[in-house]
A and B are shown apart, each in its own frame.
Chain A
């Protein structure tokens, strides 16, 4: 009995301290959700959020009343025309071959030392558990973990943006989605909370010769139109990676997309695997915490 009480006490203390470290991140996530739900609540209040859109555009192109998990569809959550096109493409998803290729990499490829990815990742339903903060190592993304597995087993690491990396991640995402897994990012130490805060600060900092922050497009700018495309919201943005982009004519990792965003801001992009990009991903993924893993998916 005594032992049980002590264990319970230890467990509650651990839970409490984990909640303390993630308290600010949870507040941020709720505030973001509240803002986006208000922004996409109804046409009446929309003119304040979309000053450049005509009444006709708000009337015809938008779906209103978007809530929480629906945001994982990106701009297709609210953009009627885009949603129709998306639903047509998704009937014959162009990423299916990549899932098969990823399964083959997981099941069929043996490293020179006789081991395989199964030794590093016995469970494939882990797409929602990354990025992780590891004491002494910092933020580790799924891409980083896959490359560490290769390196630790004497293999050459992979390109972090597409190819085999995206294929294996597609398989992990697919099996996670099939199992109904949710994004489960953990902030359980002071160092992890600091990494999250650094990622958040960079997300909201204006940068590049265009002086845009990530938030300019995906928080304040979410739902606004650039040329003919509506910009997606931060909420749910990491749930569906890797994505097959029509622009790329192929599958790419979150690192590939972030590199593109960084370039669009007018800045020399940060390298995939860099501390900067990993911490940015950590913050972004936390904003999708609790949402269903939805990858791989299709985007324009």
Chain B
């Protein structure tokens, strides 16, 4: 019985992961991450949902020392505080650093980064062999 439950849990988790990846692959990033059209809260929710999956799969983006989870965390705080500026605190080479972004920009970035990480994972399944000498790479 225990085994059946375990197998069902693993199966549903696998299905959920595959589902999220497939979902992400179909999204139009420009549309779903448009903060003007959809509002900050909705766009940030999308970022949270897909970035969790990107972390799990080891494909989370990081730019200039800032992880996408940090864009999400600090954009979320800024939205709650109704601040137009998002202040991101992060560590780089053991030192504390800060970066400031327009909150709309930070939210848009978090959303596009989260979805693109997953979309690239799906794309790579089809494209990686094209770069392998002796396989798909022709020169």
Contact = CB atoms under 8 A, between A and B. Distances in A.
Given A38-B139, A263-B62, A267-B62, A206 B123 contact: yes
B133 A32 contact: yes
A246 B58 CA distance: 30
A54 interface: no
B131 A213 contact: yes
Contacts of B63: 209, 266
Contact of B62 (A205, A268, A276): A268
Interface residues of A, number: 32
A28 to B, nearest CB: 6
Contact of B132 (A28, A49, A269): A28
Contact of B59 (A31, A35, A213, A267): A267
B74 interface: no
A205 B119 CA distance: 12
B135 to A, nearest CB: 8
Given A206-B123, A207-B120, A268 B134 contact: no
A121 interface: no
A26 to B, nearest CB: 11
Contact of A270 (B58, B131, B135, B137): B58
A201 B62 contact: no
B110 to A, nearest CB: 12
Given A35-B139, A205-B124, A266 B61 contact: yes
The A interface is mostly helix, strand or loop, or mixed, namely: helix
A204 B132 contact: yes
Given A38-B139, A206-B120, A206-B127, A268 B132 contact: no
A31 B133 contact: yes
B67 interface: yes
A261 to B, nearest CB: 13
A135 interface: no
B62 A266 contact: yes
B133 A209 contact: no
B60 interface: yes
Contacts of A39: 139
Contacts of A263: 62
B134 to A, nearest CB: 3
Contacts of B137: 35, 219-220
A200 B129 CA distance: 10
A219 B135 CA distance: 13
Interface string A26-37: 011011101100
24 contacts: A27-B134, A32-B134, A34-B133, A35-B133, A38-B139, A39-B139, A48-B139, A204-B132, A205-B127, A205-B128, A206-B120, A206-B124, A207-B59, A208-B61, A209-B62, A209-B113, A213-B128, A219-B133, A220-B137, A267-B60, A267-B62, A269-B62, A270-B58, A276-B58
Interface of A: 27-28, 30-32, 34-35, 38-39, 48-49, 200-201, 204-209, 211, 213, 215-216, 219-220, 263, 266-270, 276
Which 5 pairs, one residue from A and one from B, show the smallest C-beta to C-beta distance?
A31-B134, A205-B124, A35-B133, A204-B128, A268-B62
